[in-house]
Amino acid sequence: MRYLILCLGLLVAGNAATAVSNTASSTASAPLTTTLNITVEDLWNIYIGPVQSASINTTVEPTPIPSAQLIPPPQLYYPSYLPGAQIPGLGRNESWSFPKGFWWGVSGASYQVEGAVKVDGRGPSLWDAFTHRAMSVADNQTGDVAINEYYLYKQDIQRIAAMGVQAYSFSISWSRIFPFGNGPINEAGLQHYDDVINTCLEYGIQPQVTIYHWDLPLYLQLSYGGWTSPQIIDDYLAYARVLLERWGDKVSAWYTFNEPISFCGEYPVPDHYFTHTTTIPAIQQPYWCGHYMLLAAAKTYHLARSLNITAPISIKNSGGYKLPRTASPADTLAVQRAWAFNEGWFANPLFLGDYPPLLKNFTSSFLPEFTPEERTLIHGASDYFAHDAYTAAYYMAPDSGIEACLSDPSNSLYPKCYNSTYTLPDSEGGWLIGPASDPNTRWLHKATEWLPAFLHYIQDTWNPPNGIVITEFGMTEPFEAYKTKREDVLTDPLRSAYYHDYVQAMLMAVAEGVKLVGCSAWSIADNLEWTAGFTVKFGLQYVNLTTQERFYKASFFELARLFKTYMQD
């Protein structure tokens, strides 16, 4: 596909020579206007270089699942590591059941699972550039092949259906649909997802679509700085429109964005690779990104309603439960700051009508106030409070105190001015908040006993009228990537215990009146965990990366068993 582009000289200055080898100077040349006549292949050659391809490179028809693979493991013994209300047991607790209509699913995301990055006209994305050129990824891994979901989705959908999964939550690769992010549409990309969605429906699985899961078309980053420019809003909207018009009657839930806290936090992008396309100071860039994201999400929400799409449309927010590390007022305030700078950043505008005051105190010096029209547009533009709620952590004031930090932009914690950790103070023994996951996912501990309080906090603080969806939860089994025997990998006691206790914690919260409408476990199968590569495993299925064969882990059976026990329908 060829695309005639009117663009700034920045792209010209930032082409091959600068992007590939220049690490010393990233100064932008004076803007000039020019016209480039470039192909998708040119983009790949200049900005990414050679990519790997998979040996399986046509769509595989599913074969029957070997019946031996569907035999659940013997019941596991769950050690009661932490005291609390959760009592392990196999019987049904008669006080518990999921509400009618509750659904459970499994999740994945395009760049992490698909592979086939140059196939059928796909353009490069920001993450192709990150893994190949701009970031350090464990073992130099990339998503070039990943778990080859692009060709293996039929088998994978059959495999989750066999486990009783009701929903598959996946994301669309923007640069498969618009190889440049805007401009010409690539029909082959659309046809691929036609087939993924139809295969879900054929197996009785609800397709749930995330429109944007971080893989920005690279061209949009190069030409105007991606999410730091307001131009992104209309380009995103045009892309979302294509998806909504094509699959509005088939998709059972839409997520406009995945974890904006994370992808806005990627700004400023590494300047040894990307030339400057914005004059916005580094510290402000994430907040401009968040501002444009909210406007794009809200416009998409109302566009979908104007197209008479009735499926729920939400933003996937992210973050763990926050506990004060000590009873001091400063640590209590640190917790409030952490809610404001994380969940509240997006949840307050969406559910309460404006940014949280603690955040605004910083952002109001540069972000514009939302106009009354914008406020109305954004307020209510997420049907559910959709949350990726994995874990919990302790929060405390910076060493220098909150006030000193707020008046000192050189403090490493500025402008957030809270600190966090996973351990209690030494005076209380220095214990972890819960068992650690893999050492390459330091942020993740099994802290399931805090989930009921977490869900109550969300409900009480933001009062989402349609309820809460847990859009991701999951665990990395420690050192799983080092295991060489399949049976060692498939027996995953920490992940099994996590899912067991997590589902019971959801049931407890539901019994206490929390309006929880569904949940989706991360992840359908082992996949590329961003810069941790394949060194950590989140899969409910093991993937042998040599053969691309999939095998169910014990935790998958545990998760399915609990839903079987407590679902009403």
Ligand X SMILES: *[C@@H]1O[C@H](CO)[C@@H](O)[C@H](O)[C@H]1NC(C)=O
> Based on CB atoms, which residue is closest to ligand X, 187 or 399?
399
CA distances from 242 to 176, 184, 303 (A): 12, 12, 11
> Minimum distance from CB of 57 to ligand X (Å)?
4
> Based on CB atoms, which residue is closest to ligand X, 203 or 411?
411
Residue 538: which residues within 8 A CB-CB, separation 6 or more? 474, 475, 476, 522, 523, 526, 527, 529
In the structure encoding, which two tokens stand for residue 92, read together? Answer: 């049904």
106: which strand partners? 168, 521
Contact predicate 446/501, CB 8 Å? yes
- Tokens 């690490």 identify what position? 23
> Based on CB atoms, which residue is closest to ligand X, 21 or 55?
55
DSSP, residue by residue, 315-347: EEEE--EEEESSSSHHHHHHHHHHHHHTHHHHH
> Based on CB atoms, which residue is closest to ligand X, 59 or 262?
59
Three-class secondary structure of residue 522 per DSSP: strand
> Minimum distance from CB of 548 to ligand X (Å)?
9
Residues that bind ligand X in the complex, under the rule CB under 6 A: 2, 4, 37, 53, 55, 57, 85, 87, 89, 93, 95-96, 139-140, 307-308, 358, 361, 398-399, 403, 406-407, 412-413, 419, 421, 484, 486, 508, 511, 544, 546-547
Q: Quick one: 162 exposed, middle or buried, by C-beta within 10 A (0-12, 13-18, 19+)?
A: middle
User: Measuring CA to CA, which residue among 519, 390, 494 is closest to residue 451?
Assistant: 390
> Based on CB atoms, which residue is closest to ligand X, 139 or 428?
139
> Minimum distance from CB of 17 to ligand X (Å)?
19
CA angle 139, 553, 68 (to 5 degrees): 125
> Based on CB atoms, which residue is closest to ligand X, 1 or 190?
1
In the structure encoding, which two tokens stand for residue 141, read together? Answer: 């891994």
Report the alpha-carbon distance of residue 76 to residue 8 in Å, rounded. Answer: 61
Helices of type H across 53-185: 110-113, 126-129, 149-162, 174-177
> Minimum distance from CB of 396 to ligand X (Å)?
7
> Minimum distance from CB of 484 to ligand X (Å)?
6
Question: Backbone dihedral region of 164: left (phi > 0), alpha (psi from -120 to 50 degrees) or beta?
Answer: left
> Based on CB atoms, which residue is closest to ligand X, 144 or 472?
144
> Based on CB atoms, which residue is closest to ligand X, 311 or 406?
406
> Minimum distance from CB of 6 to ligand X (Å)?
11
Q: How many CB atoms lie within 10 A of CB 268?
A: 17
> Minimum distance from CB of 359 to ligand X (Å)?
9
Report the alpha-carbon distance of residue 75 to residue 88 in Å, rounded. Answer: 11
User: Measuring CA to CA, which residue among 541, 462, 529 is closest to residue 113?
Assistant: 529
* Catalytic center residues: 259, 472
In the structure encoding, which two tokens stand for residue 281, read together? Answer: 């100071």
CA atoms within 13 A on the CB side of 90: 4
> Based on CB atoms, which residue is closest to ligand X, 6 or 24?
6
Burial call 17-39: b when 16+ CB within 10 Å, e when fewer? ebbeeeeeebebeeeeeeeeebe
Contact predicate 98/166, CB 8 Å? no
